[in-house]
Amino acid sequence: MRLEDATKEELICFIEENSFILEHALKNFESTIVFYRLQKRLEERNIVFKQYSKALNEYVDFLEPYDNINDMPKEIFEKGLELERKMKALEKKMRKVEKKYENLRSKK
């Protein structure tokens, strides 16, 4: 049987029955969990940053041929707005992930 197959109640029973043996391992519990969470947040942060970076590059590349807004056909302007909304949504998501990451780091 794997730990994942046990119920919460069964896991508590196991911990209580083996507390003497687990005492040393449990000293590392918090640091192990915090490190795991930091790694997960860092992975998430990197993924969102790559998505944001890609969206920003698409936006810049898309607008590069135009000197000002007045030179743009309406369809191009609307596509630019769509790319900008996508970029801003990813920027918001990136800030949220960054905040979660920093909150975890400050708890260390």
What per-residue confidence (pLDDT) applies to 98? 85
What mean pLDDT, rounded, does the chain reach? 86
Q: pLDDT tens digit string along 29-68?
A: 888 888 898 899 889 989 999 999 998 898 888 888 887 7
Please tell me whether residue 6 adopts helix, strand or coil conformation: coil
What per-residue confidence (pLDDT) applies to 15? 86
pLDDT range class, residue 89, cuts 50, 70, 90: very high
Q: Where are the domains of the chain?
A: 3-107
> What is residue 66's DSSP assignment?
-
Most confident of 8-12, 26-30, 67-71, 104-108: 8-12
Please tell me the pTM assigned to this model: 0.61
Whether the predicted pLDDT of 18 surpasses 90 = no
The one-letter amino acid code at 82 reads: E
